[in-house]
C-alpha cells in the first residue's frame, strides 16, 4: 500500500509541476502579441491549466490556497499586460511558492518511503 501511495504522490508532484510551469509559459506568451488565432488557442490552454491546477490542490490547506490565489493573480496581471507593475514579479512568486511546496511534498514522499513518519 505504501508503495502505491508513494508512486501516486510522485505522479501528482510531477503533474502539478508540469501544469504550473506550462501555465506560466502560456501566460507569458499571451502577454506578448500573439495572432488572433494563437491568442484564442492560448486562452483556452491557460484557462484549462488554471482549472487543472486548482483541482490538484486542497481547497482547505493554506499553502494550497496561496498557490491557487497566485495562479488567479497571474491570470489577472497578464490580462492587464506588460504595463502592470506586477507583470514580472507575480509569475516568479507563483513559481517559487510552487517550488517550495513541491520540495516539502518531495521530502514527505522520501520520508514515507524510508518508513519515517512526518
- What is the tens place of the pLDDT at every residue in 40-67? 899 999 999 999 999 999 999 999 999 9
**CB within 8 Å of 19: residues ≥ 6 apart:** 49, 52, 53, 56
List the grid coordinates of 113: 518511503
What global pTM score does this model have?
Answer: 0.86
Percent of the chain with pLDDT over 90: 59
The answer to whether residue 35 scores a pLDDT higher than 90 is: no
pLDDT of residue 6: 77
Domain boundaries, the chain: 2-110
Q: Does domain 2-110 have CATH number 1.10.3470?
A: no
Amino acid at each position: 500500500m505504501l508503495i502505491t501511495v508513494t508512486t501516486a504522490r510522485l505522479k501528482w508532484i510531477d503533474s502539478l509541476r508540469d501544469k504550473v510551469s506550462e501555465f506560466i509559459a502560456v501566460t507569458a506568451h499571451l502577454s506578448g502579441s500573439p495572432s488572433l488565432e494563437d491568442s484564442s488557442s492560448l486562452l483556452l490552454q491557460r484557462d484549462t491549466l488554471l482549472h487543472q491546477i486548482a483541482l490538484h490542490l486542497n481547497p482547505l490547506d493554506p499553502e494550497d490556497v496561496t498557490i491557487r490565489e497566485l495562479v488567479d493573480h497571474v491570470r489577472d496581471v497578464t490580462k492587464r499586460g506588460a504595463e502592470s507593475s506586477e507583470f514580472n514579479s507575480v509569475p516568479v512568486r507563483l513559481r517559487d511558492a510552487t517550488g517550495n511546496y513541491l520540495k516539502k511534498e518531495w521530502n514527505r514522499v522520501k520520508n514515507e518511503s524510508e518508513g519515517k513518519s512526518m
